[in-house]
Chain A
């Protein structure tokens, strides 16, 4: 059976990934829409910033976030002024860090899906009396659905799989920030390989099944559209 501490870690990881995925879809959609439609000179720099977590070592991102959220950082000053204390080593801090870390995995599939729709159908909708927001919800959103599914799955899975940023920002507080990947690290440090195996196997299985389902779904979508 799975030990109680392991179950805690799994539940915490699930909760973190769920909250982060929901937030990412809310934040990522307008960013993706803007990037897919703008001709502004700001597009390349914003795209670069969004994509940074793909190539940066998680420790670099985690370090900056830790400094920003710490008692002397800008975010930390702000949250202290609101009477919330600092976010580092808390679940909320972990959510904030994960949102940054997984942003490209959500923004890029949605942006590509929006870009693939092109302006033609939205123009047609405009000639049929649909206002801009109406066009977005009645044409762009349903047609970008495969992109949203890919984005949600990748955002969730990538958050489950993160380690470096968690360690930097969240530390290792049981029930607060001790997610599965950190728990496995602890076991290995303590030479409890049996426990490590158990959790590692869970993550391995989860990751495989997730990606398998995603690719199977994408293949079905491509076949349907062919």
Chain B
């Protein structure tokens, strides 16, 4: 029993949340959905910052809330990173970090704060007050402060949403390093599919206060019928290993069970695991393998499903040696090529984005 089990019925006028989920208490689980879908409310219910009218919550077999009991927030072994950092303005960075650390017994200090300070690159900021920090620095201090209590569960509420693009790019690598270094399970609320694709192992998709899908990020991203990314375009993830570099043309090859993909030269070691994203709109289909084309990445695939998406478009699910990717094509093309489940085709991939 290492999972997080949450059942909540929570309502106020104009909004109702009704969830019943079991989440793996390891890795990063993204709670994803559009604004107003109840993501933040779910996170606050788990933290005990809000109290559901009707709720059950158990983390790693320990009951935090049921019909008869409610563990107050300060008694829950969690860390919380707010969207707006919420550093204490009257304390400098060092005393902000010490705030939580001082309040847990020395025996339960499992996270070495010095290591976290290095990891997040906030060592030089120790004597500054929060009003002398940039947005990105503030958020990194807030993350370190939350880790200072050695939480058994880290809750992050859109920690990048209040930052501009440059600051996001500044903080994201630190989040990835945390993921790779610490053993603490993370619930990560976000409405940015790019962040989720980069960081999350699992995801829960919320819409209108209900769970509409949950599962591994790779699986969910490859599903054609989810409202995952209305602005961003849907796209599947591929996990692969770096095979070799071509120094002449400055390219990097990666391999996965479905074949080999060529990317612009990446600063990665041969053999390193990477995650790439292939947007459905960057994939086109041919019946025979094309020659005389400038497209390098052409892989044999098998059609597994076709989902209509709007009046003229369809999203075709493709199997590449066990990995699913999506292709966005016109309905006219579906008919012209006679696409149907089981058909062997070739996928021409125009763009591959390296995520991590």
B174 interface residue, CB < 8 Å from A? Answer: no
A126 to chain B minimum Cβ distance, whole angstroms, is 4
Whether A138 contacts B99 by the Cβ 8 Å rule is: yes
B321 interface residue, CB < 8 Å from A? Answer: no
B47 interface residue, CB < 8 Å from A? Answer: yes
Whether A126 contacts B49 by the Cβ 8 Å rule is: yes
A125 interface residue, CB < 8 Å from B? Answer: yes
Whether A120 contacts B84 by the Cβ 8 Å rule is: yes
| B-binding segment of A127-135, A148-156, A166-174, A183-191 | A127-135
Assuming the contacts A123-B49, A123-B73, asked whether A128 and B86 have C-beta atoms less than 8 A apart, the reply is no
A-B pair number, CB within 8 angstroms: 56
A27 interface residue, CB < 8 Å from B? Answer: no
Taking CB atoms, residues of chain A closer than 8 Å to B148 are 128
B70 interface residue, CB < 8 Å from A? Answer: no
Whether A129 contacts B89 by the Cβ 8 Å rule is: no
Whether B86 contacts A123 by the Cβ 8 Å rule is: yes
A130–B99 Cα distance when bound, in Å, is: 9
Interface string of A109-137 (1 = CB under 8 A from B): 00000000000110111111111101000
Q: Quick one: which of B82, B88, B104 contacts A129, CB cutoff 8 A?
A: B104
Whether B100 contacts A128 by the Cβ 8 Å rule is: yes
Assuming the contacts A121-B86, A121-B88, A143-B90, asked whether A130 and B103 have C-beta atoms less than 8 A apart, the reply is yes
Look across to chain A and name the residue whose beta carbon is closest to the beta carbon of B131: A225
Whether B74 contacts A129 by the Cβ 8 Å rule is: yes
B78 interface residue, CB < 8 Å from A? Answer: yes
A85 interface residue, CB < 8 Å from B? Answer: no
B145 interface residue, CB < 8 Å from A? Answer: yes
Interface string of B107-149 (1 = CB under 8 A from A): 0000000000000000000000000000000000000011011
A142 interface residue, CB < 8 Å from B? Answer: yes
Task: Give the dominant DSSP class at B's interface.
Answer: loop
Taking CB atoms, residues of chain B closer than 8 Å to A134 are 103
B72 interface residue, CB < 8 Å from A? Answer: yes
Whether A126 contacts B74 by the Cβ 8 Å rule is: yes
B80 interface residue, CB < 8 Å from A? Answer: yes
B79 interface residue, CB < 8 Å from A? Answer: yes
From residue 46 to 104 of chain B, which have CB atoms closer than 8 A to chain A? 47, 49, 72-74, 78-80, 82, 84, 86-90, 99-100, 103-104
A139 interface residue, CB < 8 Å from B? Answer: yes
Look across to chain A and name the residue whose beta carbon is closest to the beta carbon of B75: A129
Task: Give the dominant DSSP class at A's interface.
Answer: helix
Taking CB atoms, residues of chain B closer than 8 Å to A142 are 90
Whether B149 contacts A128 by the Cβ 8 Å rule is: yes
Taking CB atoms, residues of chain A closer than 8 Å to B78 are 127
Taking CB atoms, residues of chain A closer than 8 Å to B80 are 123-124, 127
A128–B146 Cα distance when bound, in Å, is: 7
Taking CB atoms, residues of chain B closer than 8 Å to A138 are 99
Look across to chain A and name the residue whose beta carbon is closest to the beta carbon of B73: A126
A8 to chain B minimum Cβ distance, whole angstroms, is 43
Whether B146 contacts A129 by the Cβ 8 Å rule is: no
A138–B99 Cα distance when bound, in Å, is: 9
Whether A128 contacts B72 by the Cβ 8 Å rule is: no
A40 to chain B minimum Cβ distance, whole angstroms, is 17
Q: Quick one: which of A124, A139, A143 contacts B82, CB cutoff 8 A?
A: A124
A96–B86 Cα distance when bound, in Å, is: 41
Taking CB atoms, residues of chain B closer than 8 Å to A120 are 82, 84, 86
Whether A129 contacts B84 by the Cβ 8 Å rule is: no
Q: Quick one: which of A127, A132, A139, A143 contacts B47, CB cutoff 8 A?
A: A127
A127–B86 Cα distance when bound, in Å, is: 11
Whether A127 contacts B73 by the Cβ 8 Å rule is: yes
Most buried by B among A120, A123, A134, A142: A123
Taking CB atoms, residues of chain A closer than 8 Å to B104 are 129
Whether A124 contacts B74 by the Cβ 8 Å rule is: no
B44 to chain A minimum Cβ distance, whole angstroms, is 9
Whether A143 contacts B89 by the Cβ 8 Å rule is: yes
Whether B84 contacts A128 by the Cβ 8 Å rule is: no
Q: Quick one: which of A124, A125, A126 contacts B72, CB cutoff 8 A?
A: A126
What are 17 A-B contacts defined by CB distance under 8 Å?
Answer: A121-B86, A123-B80, A123-B82, A124-B80, A124-B82, A124-B88, A126-B72, A126-B73, A126-B74, A127-B73, A127-B74, A127-B79, A128-B100, A128-B145, A128-B146, A128-B149, A130-B99
Which 3 pairs, one residue from A and one from B, show the smallest C-beta to C-beta distance? Answer: A128-B100, A127-B80, A129-B103
